[in-house]
Amino acid sequence: MPDRILVVDDEKDLVELISYNLEKEGYGVLKAYNGEAALNIIRSQKPDMVILDLMLPGIKGMDVCKVIRNDPLTAGLPVIMVTAKGEEVDKILGLEIGADDYITKPFSVRELLARVKAILRRFKMVHDTEQEELFEYKGLQINFASHTVRINDENVNLSPTEFKILQFLSRRPGRVYTRDQILDHVWGDAAFVEPRTVDVHIRRLRSHIEPDAANPRYIQTVRGVGYRFSSINSD
């Protein structure tokens, strides 16, 4: 079955434009014009991705994204946030609440399709891994096969991008990676992603897994270089 993408926007002409182009690429399309309808479709029809407008009537796009990320059944659902706003604060806020990517109106359909393809490919790479081993360190447990994370035996809900970053860094404890290297490995050929996006996702990842995000135990900053997972052999 083709991947099904839910397009959520109160501009019906834009929904039709995006839907038409997605269908041309072979995707199945679901449509919603407000936040409440979007949540109902997500719960009942379980799409593979959501393209979500920020400014919706009723339940706002930000709140829809929060509901998605706080529900264990949908926490891993890829979300692209779409908005007419171009301010940096809106972009950062969208990423911090769990959006996997962010695109500002007006945008080219070609650019949107490129982002859709890149995120779905990244999501499938995580879920299709054949590695079944567990990684455990100081109360953190990662199951690479089931795409699950636990802290002190309690489940943690991560977005697909957050999990991919954690997976990448934890497979090479102690090795330092620059932001560009993390971009290359996690986002691949998604040419629209900026290095600062890494910082936003790292900050959100820490908020989920670190006992004290100001003094991280797992994901450490190497000043002037980038990030690493704690060196296990240093303890």
Domain count, the chain: 2
Interval 92-115 mean pLDDT: 85
Grade residue 213 by pLDDT with cuts at 50, 70 and 90. confident
pLDDT over 60 at 206, yes or no: yes
Q: What is the CATH classification number for the domain harbouring 187?
A: 1.10.10.10
More reliable by pLDDT, 160 or 42? 42
- Is residue 28 classed exposed, middle or buried when 0-12, 13-18 and 19+ CB atoms within 10 A define those classes? middle
Whether 22 and 121 share a structural domain:
yes
pLDDT in tens, 36-81: 999 999 999 999 999 999 889 999 999 999 899 888 788 889 999 9
Whether 99 and 184 share a structural domain:
no
Whether 26 and 114 share a structural domain:
yes
Whether 122 and 163 share a structural domain:
no
Whether 84 and 147 share a structural domain:
no
Question: Which of 29-33, 40-44, 113-117, 133-137 is predicted least confidently?
Answer: 133-137
- The 10 Å Cβ neighbour count of residue 142 is 22
Grade residue 235 by pLDDT with cuts at 50, 70 and 90. very low
Q: Mean pLDDT score of the chain, rounded to an integer?
A: 86
Whether 82 and 165 share a structural domain:
no
Q: What is the CATH classification number for the domain harbouring 79?
A: 3.40.50.2300
Whether 28 and 84 share a structural domain:
yes
Whether 42 and 57 share a structural domain:
yes
Predicted TM-score (pTM) of this structure: 0.65
pLDDT in tens, 170-190: 987 888 888 888 988 888 765
How far is the C-alpha of 23 from the C-alpha of 50, rounded, in Å? 15
**101: containing domain:** 4-127
Helix (H) or strand (E) holding 102: strand 101-104
Interval 127-141 mean pLDDT: 73
CB 63 within 8 A of CB 35: yes
Whether 116 and 186 share a structural domain:
no
Q: At what angle do helices 61-70 and 88-96 cross, to 10 degrees?
A: 20
Whether 151 and 36 share a structural domain:
no
